[in-house]
Amino acid sequence: MYHKVKDKIILGDFTFLEIILVVVIIVILAGIFVLIFNPGQKLVEARNARRNADANAILNAVYQYITDNKGVVPKSIIASSTEICKTGKACGDLIDLSFLTSTTKYFMTIPVDPAGVAGNGTGYYILRAVNGSVTVTAPHAEQGVTISATR
């Protein structure tokens, strides 16, 4: 309910101008919040952090397997960067690391890229270098970030 007093519109105990002023201040503060905290950027950073953690977890599981098998690197890990296959899927040309999930000793399931992937791949790639080191990469990292783990 409103009424006019001396050319002022009054809504309850507040004038229309006071209410508009409060709304404008709230909008300005909300805009500043979005600029400072940028939730979209935080989501990108969170996905990249997960990719980094997943790459390190895969590499650690592979090295734990290598240690448990007296230093033998799995033959499925080859010298060219190839995508890792999802557990329990038909792998085709992808790297099969199902030996890491055959017991729950290393993994329950192989991690999958947080943005999702099509087909049987995980979005993570693995290769064995000539010097014997193993590298796991996450090529779908966002904003030009390079994510890889080597040991």
- Quick one: pLDDT band at residue 47, thresholds 50, 70, 90? very high
Q: 139 vs 1, 7, 51, CA distance in Å?
A: 60, 65, 9
3-state secondary structure of 88: coil
Backbone angles phi, psi at 14, to 5 degrees: -120, 145
More confident residue, 141 or 12: 141
Output the pTM of the full model. Answer: 0.77
Distance (Å, rounded) from C-alpha 134 to C-alpha 81?
10
pLDDT at 13 over 80: no
Q: What is the mean pLDDT of residues 47-58?
A: 97
More confident residue, 76 or 147: 147
